[in-house]
């Protein structure tokens, strides 16, 4: 089928499940209070997690060490329980699940403690920056029959799922290449590198969309404009199953935001530009000049984070494995760990000694 032919409008099972869950919750009155969730970390991104779980009527408590973050939460949600001690969450038998939205270097100990106390866990990406730690957490969750879900947000993005549908239908032909660029400015740089901050999105999304797992790192280079080992722009070359090649570029130093996924098939090429307010997805015929087709989004434009939070709640209620489960988190961490070793060599060990802060915007609390 050529790219300029009529494109089917039925969604993939993944996209359908998202829509069905939305309508089920919205119109059939599911009691979302069956779950009681606590959020650990209420900074810039954590407040978005708080907002969604609060609006879904499942938020029981939040935990943060920073007085400014606590003040903002009190202002927005005066009725919400707040603590500075995560043991208040561990020791509360009514809390069934926990969202860990703290810096990546804190994830392992925090997630392990919550799993050991019998709580289901949603953890922001990456699950860890150490593959063995990610594997240990996955195995711990499995052994206890608990849900472990990683915040690979783009697996829940409606436009990403629409593209996955087109690929599964054969609209692009056989996939041969993918490229993801995620360029923006980060003034704080309080992480091991831009790769660990942003590339989990790219690797998880690319693997999900093309339906193939990464096999090995082909190339990994980075640059630090601060002249240290914390890379603020990185370029990765990855070989996926069946020989598909992927290239990923991430940046903390690009003044003009650029977020784009390109997927090349033997018939057509797709570009998903996530900076556009609409018509994010365009298909280009490989054999006809200037032949493009904007894909009408045939599903509701729902906030991806809301869909992700709903998916976590549903998994906790049913015990079903999350789409971005512990295996998915381990896969991403494993390939990025390989990339860091190729990029830095023995210098990667020096990053283990860096005293990263407990806040994205503040070095120390």
**Looking at the chain, how many residues does it have?**
365
Closest CA to 104 of 133, 124, 131: 124
In a domain, 357, yes or no: no
The distance in angstroms from the start CA to the end CA of the chain is 57
* 234 and 135 fall within a common domain: no
Among the three residues 121, 137, 153, which one is the final residue of a domain in this structure? 153
Of 88, 122, 153, the residue that ends a domain is: 153
Q: Which two tokens stand for residue 72?
A: 């903002």
Total-model pTM = 0.88
Half-sphere exposure of 200 (CA within 13 A, CB side): 25
Asked whether residue 310 is domain-assigned, the answer is no
* Regions in the chain scoring below 70 on pLDDT: 1-33, 293-300, 357-365
Mean of pLDDT over the chain? 89
| 58: CATH | 3.40.50.720
Query: Can you tell me the distance from the alpha carbon of 1 to that of 172, in angstroms, rounded to the nearest whole number?
Result: 8
Integer Cα distance of 259 and 352 in angstroms:
29
Q: Where are the beta strands (DSSP E) in the chain?
A: 37-40, 59-63, 81-83, 97-100, 120-124, 148-151, 175-185, 214-223, 233-240, 245-251, 253-265, 268-273, 281-285, 292-294
Q: Is residue 163 part of a domain?
A: yes
d(Cα 73, Cα 354) in Å, to the nearest integer?
A: 30
Question: Which of 161, 178, 162, 164 is closest to 269 using CA atoms?
Answer: 178
Q: Answer whether residue 142 is part of any domain.
A: yes
* Residues 238 and 167 both lie in one domain: yes
Domain that holds residue 30: 13-153
- The verdict on 190 and 71 lying in the same domain is no
35 plus 112 within the same structural domain: yes
Looking at the fold, whether 343 and 225 belong to one and the same domain comes out as yes
Rounded Cα distance between 327 and 87, Å, is 27
Q: Are 121 and 261 within one domain?
A: no
Question: Does residue 20 sit in the same domain as residue 120?
Answer: yes
H or E segment to which residue 185 belongs: strand 175-185
Whether 189 maps to a domain, the answer reads yes
Number of domains in the chain: 2
Are 173 and 282 part of one and the same domain?
yes
Gap between the Cα atoms of 355 and 82, Å rounded:
27
CA angle 96, 98, 103 (to 5 degrees): 170
Domain C-terminal end among 119, 153, 187 = 153
Answer yes or no: is 138 within a domain. Answer: yes
Same domain, 136 and 209: no
pLDDT for position 21: 53
Question: What pLDDT score was predicted for residue 351?
Answer: 85
Same domain, 186 and 144: no
Domain assignment of residue 278, yes or no: yes
CATH of the domain at 275: 3.30.360.10
Domain assignment present for 45:
yes
Q: Is 90 exposed, middle or buried (0-12, 13-18, 19+ CB in 10 A)?
A: middle
In the beta sheet, which residues pair with residue 183?
Answer: 251, 258
**Whether residue 53 is found in the same domain as residue 186:** no
Considering the domain architecture, whether residues 92 and 147 belong to the same structural domain is answered as: yes
């Amino acid at each position: 089928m050529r790219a300029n032919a009529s494109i089917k409008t039925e969604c993939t099972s993944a996209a359908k499940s998202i829509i069905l869950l939305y309508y089920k919750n919205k119109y059939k009155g599911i009691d979302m209070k069956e779950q009681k969730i606590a959020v650990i970390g209420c900074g810039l991104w954590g407040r978005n997690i708080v907002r969604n779980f609060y609006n879904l009527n499942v938020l029981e408590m939040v935990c943060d060490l920073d007085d400014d973050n606590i003040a903002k939460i009190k202002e927005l949600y005066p009725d919400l329980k707040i603590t500075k001690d995560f043991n208040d969450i561990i020791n509360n038998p009514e809390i069934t699940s926990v969202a860990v939205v703290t810096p990546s270097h804190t994830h392992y100990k925090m997630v392990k403690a919550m799993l050991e106390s019998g709580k289901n866990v949603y953890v922001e990406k990456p699950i860890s920056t150490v593959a063995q730690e990610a594997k240990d957490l996955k195995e711990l969750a499995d052994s206890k029959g608990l849900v472990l879900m990683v915040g690979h947000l783009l697996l829940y993005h409606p436009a990403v799922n629409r593209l996955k549908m087109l690929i599964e239908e054969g609209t692009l032909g056989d996939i041969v290449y993918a490229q993801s660029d995620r360029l923006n400015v980060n003034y704080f740089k309080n992480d091991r590198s831009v790769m660990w901050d942003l590339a989990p999105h790219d690797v998880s999304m690319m693997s999900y969309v093309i339906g193939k797992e990464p096999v090995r790192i082909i190339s990994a280079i980075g640059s630090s404009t601060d002249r240290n080992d914390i890379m603020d722009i990185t370029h990765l070359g990855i070989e996926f199953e069946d020989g598909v090649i992927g290239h990923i570029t991430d940046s903390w130093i690009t003044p003009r935001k650029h977020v784009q996924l390109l997927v090349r098939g033997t018939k057509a090429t797709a570009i998903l530009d996530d900076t556009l307010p609409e018509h994010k997805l365009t298909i280009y015929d490989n054999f006809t000049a200037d032949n493009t087709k904007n894909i009408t989004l045939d599903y509701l434009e729902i906030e991806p984070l809301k869909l992700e939070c709903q998916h976590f709640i549903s998994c906790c209620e049913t015990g079903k494995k999350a789409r971005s489960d512990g295996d998915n988190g381990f896969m991403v961490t494993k390939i990025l760990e390989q990339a860091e070793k190729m990029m830095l060599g023995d210098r990667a060990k020096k990053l283990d000694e860096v005293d990263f802060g407990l806040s994205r915007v503040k070095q120390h609390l």
